Amino acid sequence: MTRNLTGKCFCGAVHYEVADEFAYAANCHCSNCRRTTGSAFKPFAGIERGKFRLTAGDDRLLIFGDKSGHDAHCGRCGSLLYSLVRDGAYVHVAMGTLVDDPSIRPTAHIFVGSKAKWFTIADDLPQYDGHVPG
């Protein structure tokens, strides 16, 4: 049996369920992730789209982007919940919206080339200027 994780936005209007089978996870320091979250970086975990589903509030979503790639926010409180990426094949869950603890942990810092100068990375995870190479 697959273990399922739940997640939700700040106000609770949007809930989701995702299999605890993330393929990868990282902390992204790119300027887009910094702006969409208002944070120094965005911890996200990637999974095949079919293993993620909304369980409440799918009519409350604010979608920024198009059918093949977008950010999905709660239309009421604005939380960034997930991004649809890789031509719609994968979902990048914003890990800060998870309620349950996933098995995976972020394994790298990516897009450190555009990191905020005011933030210092204080762990030993590998750092890459862009995507993880290979």
- Binding residues for Zn ion, per CB under 5 A? 9, 11, 13, 28, 30, 33, 74, 76-77
Residue placing its CB nearer to Zn ion in the complex, 3 or 88: 88
Over the Cα atoms of the chain, what is R_g? 14
Q: Give every CB contact of residue 102 below 8 A, 6+ residues apart in sequence.
A: 5, 20, 22, 25, 45, 95
CB 125 within 8 A of CB 110: no
Residue placing its CB nearer to Zn ion in the complex, 9 or 18: 9
Output the smallest distance, CB 26 to Zn ion, in A. 9
In the Cβ-directed half-sphere of 76, how many Cα atoms lie within 13 Å? 12
What 3-state DSSP class applies to 30? Answer: coil
Residue placing its CB nearer to Zn ion in the complex, 42 or 52: 42
Output the smallest distance, CB 17 to Zn ion, in A. 16
Residue placing its CB nearer to Zn ion in the complex, 5 or 72: 72
Output the smallest distance, CB 1 to Zn ion, in A. 30
